[in-house]
A and B are shown apart, each in its own frame.
Chain A
Amino acid sequence: MPPEPEQLKNSIGIVETKFFTFAEPPNELKLEGGSKLGPITLAYETYGTLNKHKSNAILIFHTLSMDAHAAGFHKGEKRPGWWEDMIGPGKAFDTNKYFMICANVIGGCKGSTGPSSVNPKTGRPYGSSFPFITIGDMVETQRRLLQHLGIKKILCLAGGSMGGLQALQWAVRYPDDVASVIAIAANMRQTAQQIALHEVMRQAIISDPDWSGGDYYDKKVPARGLALARMMGHITYMSDKSMEEKFGRNLHNKDKFGFDFSQDFKVESYLKYQGESFVQRFDANSYYYISKALDYFDLAPDGNYSKIFSNVKSSFLVIAFTSDWLYPSYQSKDMVKALKANDIDVSYCEVDSDYGHDAFLVEVEGQSHLIEHYLSRIQREVDHGER
């Protein structure tokens, strides 16, 4: 179904996913884990126009389960991109001013090379033979995309959650590339709690007999395992309060407890629905690989977090949310502290929100205000040669 006219108001409108293929053998990309991967295809979308000096490019990074489709509508689809509220004409990421880019990460399943892609060497999906990847590998591939687009200096790298980690990794690894970073609900390293939560999700996937050691593409997919993993994920994205407000103890399709094996509560049916619908649009192996990439993420494996930003030149806007317990605000504050210690231009705001980690997608007004004005300043400083 096509979008309603009302939906197209203030929207970038109809958009298309594009593809960029590189690292053709024998020039495969060497991954952090030691393996080589190639050819690599990245699915990406762009919105807005690159200016003459190529100085208005903003790269948006997506989260674990999202994709390159950040804004606008695919032809015939009623559902807009995942950050439609923030990207478009007159919005925080104003497509009248900026050239926006968003690419699907490697390891993903939305057009970029991942475990479900066909390995040209065998003619069959990679499955369990797909090499393990890192946040740094995601950065390397997207850097190739930017080179392909002829962009040497990026106005801003922006992302929430896993997207924020990519932005940070990039700014640390290639300090000369980047004028500014917007890191939302992110941190400098994944914590034991986050790894533990991912591990429960991964165990849910691999304990599904249909997972078949990761090579299930010509058979039944591990739907139950992936649905369980996603249910777990959803719990971590919400807060105690937002769940209480959304579901409370309300029952689902019944007036009294069943006292049987059926679902009683609304929250149960919500999670079940989220899990089941996720299976329709996401690959279990991608979930596994990307969650692993998250776990490997640590900007300073030696523990010296005040040193990692010593070469960084970009300005930072760090945003956290009060009720986010998956990426608690103290982790953003630690980041701000490390940035300050290196005399880096850093702004920080802890947005008061009850939506937990989801706030990054829900709290549009506050974030829009911060991002819109922050970007105006950065663009001004870049235009004046100050940054």
Chain B
Amino acid sequence: MANDNILRVDHKVIVDLIEPKSRVLDLGCGNGDLLAKLKELKSVKGTGIEIDENAIYDCIEKGLTIAQGNIDTSLQDYQTKSFDYVILNESLQQVLKPHEVILESLRVGKKVLVNIPNFCHLEGRLQVFFKGRVPMTKELPFEWYDTPNLRFLSLRDFRRFCEKSSITIERQIPLGYKTIISFLPNLLARSGLYLLRKD
């Protein structure tokens, strides 16, 4: 694999999924690590959306195209199907209107890649059950009072949402810390990666 030097499993899987030379919109791209890898290894034409000013500086330094903005309000700027892929990597849980964002992403992109943290992972469940406290894990390291996350969902919740919204799940890849999880994903996966389309 060309992407053996990628440390994060989610980035590795996403880079594998994306077709070379695609047009990619990364919503909530942070410091641009994923987009930079996609540009380097898949020669994509990429654009990022990010709210944090310092992250913009990081992205520009990496030679990326990046527009500061809010995920909730940025999608309406783009024409229908102007991207091959819209990526929401661990950012959907932070938006105000996830339903609208998903539908808008499916409008501007031919396909949408969503990676959501699994709030019903075993570790979290144990913390709720034994400690009686809202979970804090490696993926969800935030106290309830200063978390950027607005939505708390499991992989099962997300699948049900897609079903109800008539969104086709082309691929689903439950992820652990370093590997793909195939056994009891809703209990054991740290996050779930979904490749979506809407016909």
Contacts and interface: CB of A to CB of B under 8 A. Distances in A.
Interface of A: 315, 333, 336-337, 340-341, 343, 345-352, 366, 369-370, 373-374, 376-377, 380
Given A346-B67, A347-B65, A348-B69, A337 B77 contact: yes
B44 interface: no
Nearest first, the 9 A-B pairs at minimum CB distance are A377-B63, A348-B67, A340-B77, A337-B77, A349-B56, A373-B61, A373-B60, A369-B57, A370-B60
A349 B77 contact: no
B68 A349 contact: yes
Contacts of A337: 77
B53 A352 contact: yes
Interface in B41-99: 47, 53, 56-57, 59-69, 77-79, 82
Given A352-B53, A369-B60, A346 B65 contact: yes
24 contacts: A336-B69, A336-B77, A340-B78, A343-B82, A345-B47, A346-B65, A346-B67, A347-B59, A347-B60, A347-B64, A347-B66, A347-B67, A348-B66, A349-B56, A349-B57, A349-B68, A350-B53, A350-B68, A369-B61, A370-B57, A373-B61, A373-B62, A376-B63, A377-B63
A336 B65 CA distance: 12
Nearest to A377: B63
Interface of B: 47, 53, 56-57, 59-69, 77-79, 82
B105 to A, nearest CB: 15
B67 A336 contact: yes
Contacts of B47: 345
Contacts of B53: 349-352, 366
B196 to A, nearest CB: 22
Nearest to A342: B79
A341 B67 contact: no
A77 to B, nearest CB: 34
A266 B188 CA distance: 67
A370 B55 CA distance: 11
B61 to A, nearest CB: 5
A346 B67 CA distance: 7
Contacts of A351: 53
A366 B65 contact: no
Contacts of A333: 69
A366 B79 CA distance: 31
A315 B61 CA distance: 16
Contacts of B65: 315, 345-347
Nearest to A370: B60
Contacts of A376: 63
B125 to A, nearest CB: 40
Contacts of B57: 349, 366, 369-370
A96 B152 CA distance: 52
B82 A349 contact: no
Nearest to A318: B67
A352 B57 CA distance: 12
Contacts of A340: 67, 77-78
Contacts of A373: 60-63
Contacts of B82: 343
A155 B79 CA distance: 28
Nearest to B66: A347
A341 B78 contact: yes
B56 A341 contact: no
Contacts of B61: 369, 373
A380 B67 contact: no
Contacts of A350: 53, 68
Contacts of B56: 347, 349, 370
Contacts of A377: 63
Interface centre among A315, A346, A347 (most CB of B within 10 A): A347
A341 B77 contact: yes
Contacts of A341: 77-79
Contacts of B62: 373
Interface centre among A350, A352, A380 (most CB of B within 10 A): A350
B65 to A, nearest CB: 5
Given A347-B60, A349-B60, A370-B57, 8 more contacts: A345-B47, A346-B67, A347-B67, A348-B67, A349-B68, A366-B53, A370-B56, A373-B62
A374 B60 contact: yes
A162 B60 CA distance: 25
Nearest to A332: B68
A26 B131 CA distance: 90
A341 B79 CA distance: 6
Nearest to B82: A343
A364 to B, nearest CB: 14
B157 to A, nearest CB: 32
Contacts of B79: 341, 343
Contacts of A345: 47, 65
Contacts of B67: 336, 340, 346-348
A70 to B, nearest CB: 23
A25 to B, nearest CB: 47
A345 B56 CA distance: 15
